[in-house]
Amino acid sequence: MNSATVVNEKVSLKTLSELMNLRGRVGVVTGGAGHLGQAYCEALVELGADVCVLDVRADVAEQKAEELARRYGTHCSAIAADVTHEDEVARAINEIVAVHGRLDILVNNAAYPRNDLPPDGSALTQQSLAQWKATLDVVLTGAFMMTRACVPHLANGGQGVVVNVSSVYGLVGPDMRLYEGTDMQNPANYAAAKGGIVQLTRYLATTLAPKIRVNCIAPGGIWRGQAESFHQRYCSRTPLGRMGTEEDLKGVLAFLASDLSAYVTGQVMLVDGGWTAW
């Protein structure tokens, strides 16, 4: 047989259903009781995973975990923890492993600090150091501490996955014309934190490979009843002509958290209706 000879061999490929099946795996979603967090939790349990809803709000997290367990028949738990506190992060991860026996998927979704600081103004000169530190603590430092605490468990399972949540504003500058005439703001702390998440993703993807895959979701604007003037401007600037919804993010998490993306790491998946294509 020479190099030009073609050998016909039947290749056995897993089905898409098999690749996306998360039965037997355990995931934790930080900020799991929030709008996006709930969508991410649902995506995981719909594929068969057991999930821990981690949030600073114990009552809402427990309610969501009970709802998920009732609807999908999976083992769901709730843990109240503040990702900005190292001791709470360590306790939370220990509790998750004690309750579920393992940990395979981490979704770093926590995004906003507690509402115990006065709001900043929209101009850079009106933005406070307190808000800057609070936002970076939750988004960036929180993701760092959660990942660091989860690494031993993610590596042990052999299918460890980290999915970080950034934003289009972690990749491009804000178009402040969208906000004219509204009370909405787009502070520097948000862009800096979300941009840091993008680079943290790349760092983790290269240093934790091959045992753990690390990718990032960067959503565009999500419709939540914003001012109509903003809404119209945003839609006109978006190729798909609308803002995103929580549902738009479920599919990309299902892809990144499962074996559908087994050869994907270090990537930023934009879910923005084409916003950054222009």
Residue pLDDT, tens place only, 194-247:
999 999 999 999 999 999 999 999 999 999 999 999 999 999 999 999 999 999
pLDDT band, residue 122 (cuts 50/70/90) = confident
Task: Taking residues 119-123, report their average pLDDT.
Answer: 79
Q: How far is CA 184 from CA 67, 123, 228, in A?
A: 32, 12, 12
Whole-number average pLDDT of the chain: 94
Among 20-24, 117-121, 217-221, whose mean pLDDT is lowest? 117-121
pLDDT at 233: 97
How far does Cα 173 stand from its chain's mean position? 21
More confident of the two residues 166 and 12: 166
Domains, the chain: 19-277 (3.40.50.720)
pLDDT band, residue 5 (cuts 50/70/90) = low
pLDDT at 62: 98
Establish whether 190 is a catalytic residue.
yes
Instruction: At 107, give phi and psi (nearest 5°).
Output: -115, 110
pLDDT band, residue 114 (cuts 50/70/90) = confident
Measured at the CA of 54, the angle between CA 209 and CA 98, to 5 degrees, comes to 75
Catalytic pick among 190, 203, 234, 263: 190
The pLDDT tens digits of the residues spanning 76-96 come to 999 999 999 999 999 999 999
pLDDT band, residue 23 (cuts 50/70/90) = very high
pLDDT band, residue 7 (cuts 50/70/90) = low
pLDDT at 11: 80
**Helical (H) or strand (E) element with 248:** helix 247-257
Could you identify the residue written with the tokens 């958290």? 257
**CA dihedral of 179, 229, 35, 136, whole degrees rounded to 10:** 0
The pTM (predicted TM-score) of the whole model is 0.94
pLDDT at 119: 76
d(CA 214, CA 60): 28
